[in-house]
């Protein structure tokens, strides 16, 4: 990282009480600060990072990027003062990007970003040289998260994998300008963040700005099974390779969906076995495998590494219990991801297995939210799911309009008890799916704990 004086020059600020320190890391959460870190005091919707400056320096921060130095402890060293700390963080990340010689990969899409990134990282990483591939932490894909992830990338890494997320128009373009990726992936297009975009076409336009932001000699891989991506690929100004199970220049044949995936690809010729489930994950695996091959990994190596992939927690993660299996898909939910998870649930298990769907509300779907929830309720009934327990006002409302013996509406506080009573009768598979605000991972933890 740069010395504090150089950081100040990059962000257009100045340093108070400069002692020549060079930060070890850049951190925006004071609780995560360790010795030698630079703390960025960001103003959020709920709090202002300036209120935590004392805590950051007490934990060992060597510097801070601030708007108002008077809010810092009087003895704080290396205060980098700038008009807008967030803009400064982004400018610093862009400068660090220009210093890196690595090939950077940007991944976006309505569904599957994190799973595809994790798959790609696994396929690319040589256990003998794990530092060659930098996999951005968690899902740092926002105007704050992506710059922090980029600044955490070591200069020695040869490849960097990053997600780009969005909730409103213009965000992907801004993130792509900071990241300047050479390779791009778009995993899918579907109804998500419709409060900000209103239509699926607008979502597709936003995601496509990643392709427009690629380097002139860059290449993109897009899911050709999404018609919005297929159309745009035909007239793309950059090199775009459409990849899909039903459409595209490169296609995969899905030979098995459950209990693990088996996917065959003709060019490059591969047969992949992977401990994921569902057709939607087959699309993620296909994109990751084709991209890994493009980045130089031999097909036989991709085949071997695919077998040992471990699913990302809370993303259709299978957890064994004494009553059967929990499918923890609690990280987030929208119509496409919920549909995919439901179809996987319907295909799992034996004929006698009971299938239970904890139907968590899907947030941020705009004025069509009621319709989307009714469609998911209909799909669950059409698939023959044995028990449907909705959580959240919109999901409950949708199920009330579909009176059926499979539907049980219970209080949130009684949900774990209701699930335990259902699953005590016979072997069961329980899909727990909903938007992250519902915190359904707590229900999963309660069920796993009570079943152990």
Does residue 291 carry a pLDDT above 60?
Answer: yes
The pLDDT tens digits for 164-221 are 999 899 999 999 999 999 999 999 998 888 888 889 999 999 999 999 999 889 999 9
**Residue 203 is part of a domain; what is its CATH number?**
3.40.1190.10
The pLDDT, as a whole number, for residue 120 is 98
Check whether residue 121 and residue 66 sit in a common domain: no
Q: Is residue 149 in a domain?
A: yes
The pLDDT, as a whole number, for residue 322 is 84
CB-based burial label for 300 (10 Å; 0-12, 13-18, 19+): exposed
Query: In this structure, are residues 154 and 177 in contact, taking their beta carbons and an 8 Å threshold?
Result: no
Q: Is residue 90 in a domain?
A: no
State the average pLDDT over residues 243-250.
96
How many angstroms from the chain centroid is the CA of residue 99? 26
> How many Cβ atoms are within 10 Å of 239's Cβ, its own excluded?
12
| Number of domains comprising the chain | 3
Query: In this structure, are residues 365 and 372 in contact, taking their beta carbons and an 8 Å threshold?
Result: yes
The pLDDT, as a whole number, for residue 452 is 44
The pLDDT, as a whole number, for residue 450 is 61
The pLDDT tens digits for 115-130 are 999 999 999 999 999 9
Domain extent, residue 400, equals: 317-451
Token pair in block for residue 30: 């004071």
The pLDDT, as a whole number, for residue 302 is 98
- Domain boundary residue among 54, 84, 114? 84
Instruction: Identify each DSSP E strand in 224-341 by its residue range.
Output: 239-244, 250-256, 261-266, 269-274, 317-321, 324-329
**Residue 407 is part of a domain; what is its CATH number?**
3.90.190.20
Check whether residue 157 and residue 301 sit in a common domain: yes
Check whether residue 115 and residue 79 sit in a common domain: no
The pLDDT tens digits for 49-88 are 999 999 999 999 999 999 999 999 999 999 999 999 999 9
pTM of the model: 0.92
- Domain boundary residue among 84, 111, 127? 84
**Residue 422 DSSP one-character state:** H
- For residues 137 and 356, give the distance between their C-alpha atoms in angstroms, rounded to a whole number: 32
Check whether residue 275 and residue 327 sit in a common domain: no
The pLDDT tens digits for 16-44 are 999 999 999 999 999 999 999 999 999 98
The pLDDT tens digits for 363-419 are 999 999 999 999 999 999 999 999 999 999 999 999 999 889 999 999 999 999 999
Token pair in block for residue 89: 């963080």
Check whether residue 78 and residue 135 sit in a common domain: no
Check whether residue 180 and residue 44 sit in a common domain: no
Check whether residue 295 and residue 159 sit in a common domain: yes
How confident is the prediction for the chain on average, in pLDDT? 94
Does residue 451 carry a pLDDT above 60?
Answer: no
């Amino acid at each position: 990282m740069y010395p504090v004086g150089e950081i100040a020059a990059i962000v257009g600020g100045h340093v108070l009480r400069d002692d020549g320190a060079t930060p070890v890391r850049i951190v925006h959460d004071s609780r995560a600060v360790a010795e030698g870190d630079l703390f960025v005091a960001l103003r959020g919707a709920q709090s202002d990072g300036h209120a935590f400056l004392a805590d950051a320096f007490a934990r060992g921060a060597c510097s801070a990027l601030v708007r108002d130095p008077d809010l810092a402890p009087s003895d704080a060293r290396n205060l980098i003062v700038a008009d807008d700390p967030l803009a400064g963080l982004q400018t610093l990340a862009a400068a660090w990007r220009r210093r890196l010689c690595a090939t950077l990969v940007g991944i976006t899409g309505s569904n599957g970003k994190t799973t595809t990134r994790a798959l790609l990282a696994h396929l690319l990483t040589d256990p003998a040289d794990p530092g060659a591939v930098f996999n951005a932490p968690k899902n740092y894909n926002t105007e704050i998260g992506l710059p922090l992830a980029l600044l955490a990338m070591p200069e020695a890494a040869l490849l960097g994998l990053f997600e780009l997320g969005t909730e409103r128009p213009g965000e992907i373009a801004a993130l792509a300008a900071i990241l300047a990726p050479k390779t791009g992936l778009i995993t899918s297009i579907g109804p998500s963040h419709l409060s900000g975009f209103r239509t699926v076409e607008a979502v597709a336009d936003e995601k496509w700005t990643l392709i427009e932001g690629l380097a002139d000699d860059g290449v993109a891989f897009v899911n050709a099974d999404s018609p919005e991506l297929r159309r745009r690929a035909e007239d793309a100004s950059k090199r775009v390779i459409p990849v899909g199970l039903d459409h595209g220049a490169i296609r995969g044949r899905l030979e098995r969906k459950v209990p693990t995936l088996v996917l065959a690809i003709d060019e490059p010729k591969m047969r992949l076995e992977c401990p994921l489930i569902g057709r939607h994950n087959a699309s993620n695996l296909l994109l990751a495998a084709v991209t890994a091959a493009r980045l130089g990994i031999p097909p036989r190596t991709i085949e071997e590494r695919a077998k040992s992939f471990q699913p990302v927690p809370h993303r259709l993660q299978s957890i064994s219990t004494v009553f059967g299996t929990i499918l923890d898909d609690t990280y987030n939910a929208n119509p496409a991801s919920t549909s995919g998870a439901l179809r996987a649930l319907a295909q799992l298990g034996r004929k006698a297995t009971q299938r239970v769907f904890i139907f968590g509300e899907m947030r941020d779907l705009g004025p069509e939210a009621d319709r989307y929830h009714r469609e998911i309720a209909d799909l669950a009934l059409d698939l023959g799911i044995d028990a449907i327990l909705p959580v959240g006002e919109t999901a409950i409302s949708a199920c009330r309009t579909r009176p059926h013996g499979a539907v049980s509406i219970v209080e949130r506080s009684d949900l774990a008890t209701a699930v335990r009573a259902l699953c005590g009768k016979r072997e069961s598979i329980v899909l727990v799916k909903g938007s992250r605000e519902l915190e359904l991972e707590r229900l999963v933890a309660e069920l796993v704990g009570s079943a152990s």
